[in-house]
Structure 1
Amino acid sequence: MKKIVAALALTVFAAGLAFAADDIVLKAKNGNVSFPHKKHQEVLKDCKKCHEKGPGKIEGFGKDVAHKTCKGCHEEMKKGPTKCGECHKK
């Protein structure tokens, strides 16, 4: 029974990866942010770095979460945009 549950969980997880959007556009007053989701998936490999509760929308995601999580990760990895105009495009 445990093997069946584990296999089912793995299947659901893999399906989430297969159907994830390539690019996501986040609407913002100072210019929309184009988020290359598939590229992040390939680089990070671990969905839980962003999706703590597993695949799907990030609960409470908004400006504050993006600035802390996304920008923080970019600063930590010394990779990716960290200035306003590098993400927000009008």
Structure 2
Amino acid sequence: MKKLLVVAMLAAFAAAPAFAADVYTYEGKGVVTFDHKGHADKLGCEACHQGEPAKIEVTKDSAHKDVCKNCHTEKGGPTKCNDCHVKK
């Protein structure tokens, strides 16, 4: 019985990313809405998520220098402030 419970928990943990929210909103100098599913479908998970466990922390530096803006520059995504930061 314990083995079945462990297997069920591992399966649920492995499937969790598939059920994660698809859109994340970051507040600050205008709202930035990130479409996770759209990025994953177009680029694949490994484009942003590396290592074990495959996590990424979005910070001001990672968005502007390390990950997001560099990739947008390379792949032709939006790079101007107002392209991502939408003021209401």
TM-score (norm 2): 0.71
**In structure 2, what is the equivalent of residue 40 of structure 1?**
39
TM-score (norm 1): 0.70
**In structure 1, what is the equivalent of residue 74 of structure 2?**
76
Are positions 1:89 and 2:86 aligned together?
yes
Structure with bigger gyration radius: 2
Long gaps (5+) in structure 2: 1-9
Aligned length: 75
Cα distance in 2, alignment partners of residues 23 and 84 from structure 1: 19
Cα distance in 1, alignment partners of residues 43 and 61 from structure 2: 21
**In structure 1, what is the equivalent of residue 61 of structure 2?**
64
1:55 Cα offset (Å):
4.4
What is the root-mean-square deviation in Å for CA atoms of aligned residues? 2.1
User: 1:89 is aligned with what amino acid?
Assistant: V
Percent identity over the alignment is 51
